[in-house]
Structure 1
Amino acid sequence: MSAPIIAIDAMGGDFGPHCIVPASIACLAEYPSLHLVLVGQSSLIESLIARQPGVDRARLRVVEAGEVIGMNERPAQALRGKPDSSMRVSLELLRNGQAQACVSAGNTGALMALSRHILKTLPGIDRPAMVTAIPTQQGFCHVLDLGANVDCDAEHLQQFAVMGSVAAEVQGKPRPRVALLNVGTEEIKGNQQVKLAASLLQQTPGLNYIGFIEGDGLYRGEADVVVCDGFVGNILLKSSEGLAAMISTRLQALFNASWWARLVGLLAMPLLRRLRTELAPAQHNGASFLGLQGIVVKSHGSAGHEGFKSAIGHALREIEENLPQRLHSRLGEHLL
């Protein structure tokens, strides 16, 4: 396999190049075979690179893109009005074979619109879906969609289920259990969209569909793939991140409440650090756009240094797994 090359939208996210450039350079040190292309305002990017010691410029290239897509811009404006945006140029590098993946922390709607326009979807897929692995009591669960598609019909949910199942198989989960997120597990529960999707999934060849699942069942690890529309999925993801942060803050406050609590905290510190590492959102940052003819990873817009490094590592693993090609080869087995 040739050296992996990832195009980075260096201007995206809440912190932009001041976070992304150092995080990218740190990834070069962590992954010796990795090559990166930083896309954006080259004078600013070069000035930030110059502040980092020992940069291997043989594995780092800068490509100029004079426009930036704002986090609040409408996708249609990004698609038609900014042909030289850092996000668009990064995706064009991927399409043209100059990179094997693209990572952006920018506007999710714009990234979805540009990805569909530039890269196109795989045969049989109408819309890409954002997927990531969420920690559970049993390990991890792949959840999709996480916000790329706020409005979905039953056929879209069926496609998401197939893509999520194949992705879980590629990552080592034999016959992954697939469930639909719902307000109850009984067949009569849910809206019409979810009920129609359930009927389609029951008839989908080769899919290990186990029925409806509630939010608490997801965290118990009762399914390996959980499917929902992007409206529900994004709320689920952000609520999970907020809950993890709240529990960490509450524990810290409890351990600081008195001298004996501080003593207990010191004794428990190794276990708490391990738990914090396992549940920290930064460790799991990076959601894939499944269903595209190329690898696109969306970093959380508010991700810091460690979070953006995690997104780059996520993209690198998908390159190594050859995920889009393997997904393409398996879709026909499920979507007849």
Structure 2
Amino acid sequence: MIRVAIDAMGGDLGPRIAFQATEKIVAAFADVEAYFYFDSQVFEFPDESPSSRIIPVACHDSVSCMEVVDRSLFKRVDATIYRALSDLSVSQADVVVTFGNTAAMVALARHIVGLLRPKLYPALIREMRPNPLRCLVDLGANVHCPAEMLNGFALLGASYVEARSDSEANVALLNVGVETSKGSSVIKECYQMLSDQNWPKFSGFAEGFELFAGEKNVIVCDGMVGNAVLKASEGLFMFLLSQLPKHSMDTSAIEQLVQAESRHGACLVGIKGNLVKGHGRSDLKAMMGAIEYGIDIARTNLYKRIETKLTQQGVL
């Protein structure tokens, strides 16, 4: 049985939508138990659960998306995300899925679950395409990134791709051009680091159009750039879908393609557990997609496979 811990309090649409997503997930997957972490001051769990495989976990605190993270966060032991991660850390859950505050999630994951390696900072990885697998890392877990941190992202991204597929990782740094003379001093320093390593395979710089096509399947950047790139791509898609019907153009083929190619949610890699972050603005369909993704990585215990891959390459 796959045990999914769902932090129901983070999404913009509230815990009601998270509960509906949870209902549909347990109905679709007979081997899944969903532990539903909710703030009892905000949401009233039904007297009769629609399924014995939805287990309510009543909490008395939750972290909003608008909160600024400070040291007081580590004392909020009855917050939904704190309790979900605590259960993950003692193997009472196989994966945590949250739609809440990214900064709080990362800080608590590091504090409660722990890192695979002390100086290997965790990063959010998003599958831009599943077949062949292509990933973007980081998406917002880390905004100010020195060269050593970017190098760590490359190691985590390469491990993710090789743990999730039969493909060899082919890493590139997102830059304003492919020429070695271009880019910031941090990018150039990281370029040299990756060039001097035996693993992973490094193919230099990549430009934005290579996110979705080409041989480079791990595109590395800092969290500010990655988050902006991802949301700009999603925004363009939504804009096109809204505008094309005005010109009598059928969008069904585009919608089917994107649905087949996209993943809802990103994986926080580099911690000792499986953790999925969904968009705060996720609707019912997107929440279900993020939970399904969490189930998928839990089935193979992805973090352990990544840890093994890093150990084999002499990183851990």
- Normalising by structure 2, we get a TM-score of 0.93
Equivalent in the alignment of 1:214: 207
Equivalent in the alignment of 1:260: none
Match of 1:185 among 150, 164, 178: 178
Please, which runs of 5 or more residues in structure 1 have no aligned partner?
256-264
Partners in 1 of 2:21 and 2:161 — Cα distance? 28
Equivalent in the alignment of 1:64: 58
Equivalent in the alignment of 1:170: 163
One-letter identity of the residue aligned with 1:217: E
Equivalent in the alignment of 1:155: 148
Partners in 2 of 1:164 and 1:21 — Cα distance? 32
Name the CA shift for 1:29/1:283 in 2 (closer, same or farther; >3 Å): farther
Partners in 1 of 2:104 and 2:285 — Cα distance? 24
2:70 match: secondary structure: helix
Name the CA shift for 1:89/1:200 in 2 (closer, same or farther; >3 Å): same
Give yes or no for contact 1:294–1:324 (8 Å, CA) kept in 2. yes
Give yes or no for contact 1:206–1:334 (8 Å, CA) kept in 2. no
Equivalent in the alignment of 1:35: 33
Deviation at 1:105, TM superposition (A): 0.3
Alignment of 1:127-166 (within 5 A): 127-135=121-129, 139-166=132-159
One-letter identity of the residue aligned with 1:164: G
Question: Is the aligned partner of 1:291 residue 2:285?
Answer: no
One-letter identity of the residue aligned with 2:186: Q
In terms of fraction of residues, the more helix-rich structure is 1
Deviations 1:205-254 (A, max 9, x none): 22111110000122333411100000100000110110110111121111
Q: Which has the larger radius of gyration?
A: 1
Deviations 1:102-158 (A, max 9, x none): 01000000101011000011026531100011149x855200000000011111111
Equivalent in the alignment of 1:335: 315
Equivalent in the alignment of 2:283: 304
Name the CA shift for 1:141/1:45 in 2 (closer, same or farther; >3 Å): farther
Equivalent in the alignment of 2:45: 46
Please, which runs of 5 or more residues in structure 2 have no aligned partner?
none
Partners in 2 of 1:212 and 1:180 — Cα distance? 5
Q: Where do 4+ consecutive residues of structure 1 move more than 6 Å?
A: none
